[in-house]
Amino acid sequence: MRKEINIGIVGAQFMGRAHSNGWYDVAQFYDLPFKPVMRAACDINPASEKDFARRMGWLSFESSWETMVNRSDIDVIDICTPNNSHMPIAVAAARAGKHVICEKPAAMNAGEALQMAEAAEKAGVKNMIAYNYRRVPAIALAKKMISEGKLGQIHHFNAVYYQDWLVDPDFPWVWRHDSRVAGSGAHGDMNAHTVDLARFLVGELGSVCGDERVFISSRKISGTDRSGVVTADDSTSFLARFTNGASGNFVATRFATGKKNFLRLEIFGSRGSLVFNLERLNELEYYSRDDKSGEQGFRNILITENEHPYIRKWWPPGHIIGWEHTFIHEIGDFLMAIANNEKITPDFSDGYKCQLVLDAVLESSESRKWIDI
């Protein structure tokens, strides 16, 4: 067994910082058979990348992702760039024999996501889309409870994802406003998470009916007198029909005044229900019709016991963990899959299936019709 595995990260964006914390801490909490080495960071802006690499603990830096993916001393490529570069970097990395972890959404569209999945499959490399919310212990427990039949037949999956950082009309134009770079706005950034969680917890979506909105059509570009046109959605909502008969309701918006990063899931079944709120990520609400009629009601489960998913790696019962721990879980699981030569999910195929749903919603919004997936 090798003594170390060398990591290269592409992108010094917000998620690049989040992933870096995961790579830095993972060896402290996972019993890995090798040492992960934060070998190199890459970004198109060398000045910011040098500072990023120094602050986050990366040993070197590159200004070209092409150079990064072809370095012989790199084993894993971590992609944290804007969405329009996910596919070319992932495909090149896979062809170079690198294992690849990529931020969500997988790509600009399903066609690009399929190219990523096919390249990784052909190369035989481990690949993962970084849907970190699957690694929230409460979500992992919800998956276990649903799989054990505690909710019975699922009737409803409702998801709202609220942020408000674009409510201010003076907030400047950024790359996330440009559909040529981002693919979509709140939809690809936020609905991507809830679609993945819906697939993970309930099953495949069969058809959708969507509506996307841009509330402020142009914004000032920082440091200039010019304005940029907003071509990526500020909000996208859609209805869904699952292939197993469940009904879905999804809302993602950056115009939910007062909500900073509010993700709430409601899952209603024939035997019970579950409710999760990301702002209280150590808790899961559970209702069971199997309780005595006089004792029925939503109970709050505090997810800090050793038998709960992932918790044994952390603190004694009653001591909560945070958002940052989801990245350690995700990276730890990814590295263990490499070490044991096991399949890891969500992989690029999951990213492709999620992208099919996202694309169908946008097609539905444009055609004003239900679209089959």
Q: 220, 231, 112: which is closest to 180 by C-alpha?
A: 231
pLDDT of residue 14: 86
Cα–Cα dist 309/311, whole Å: 6
Of 67, 73, 75, residue with least CA distance to 94? 75
Give pLDDT tens digits along the chain (373 positions): 679 999 999 998 889 999 999 999 999 999 999 999 999 999 877 777 788 888 999 999 998 999 999 999 999 999 999 999 999 999 999 999 999 999 999 999 999 999 999 999 999 999 999 999 999 999 999 999 999 999 999 999 999 999 999 999 999 999 999 999 999 999 999 999 999 999 999 999 999 999 999 999 999 999 899 999 999 999 999 999 999 999 999 999 999 999 999 999 999 999 999 999 999 999 999 999 999 999 999 999 999 999 999 999 999 999 999 999 999 999 999 999 999 999 999 999 999 999 999 999 999 999 999 999 9
Fold of 4-132: Rossmann fold (3.40.50)
Model's pTM, two decimal places? 0.96
What's the CA gap between 299 and 141, in Å, rounded?
15
Sequential DSSP letters for 238-279: EEEEETTS-EEEEEEES--TT-SSEEEEEEEESSEEEEEEGG
Phi-psi region of 318 (alpha: psi -120 to 50; beta: other; left: phi over 0): left
pLDDT score for 45: 77
Q: Is 312 exposed, middle or buried (CB count within 10 Å of its CB: 0-12, 13-18, 19+)?
A: exposed
Domain boundaries, the chain: 4-132, 136-319+352-367
In terms of Cβ atoms closer than 10 Å to its own Cβ (0-12, 13-18, 19+), residue 70 is middle
CATH topology of domain 136-319+352-367: Dihydrodipicolinate Reductase; domain 2 (3.30.360)
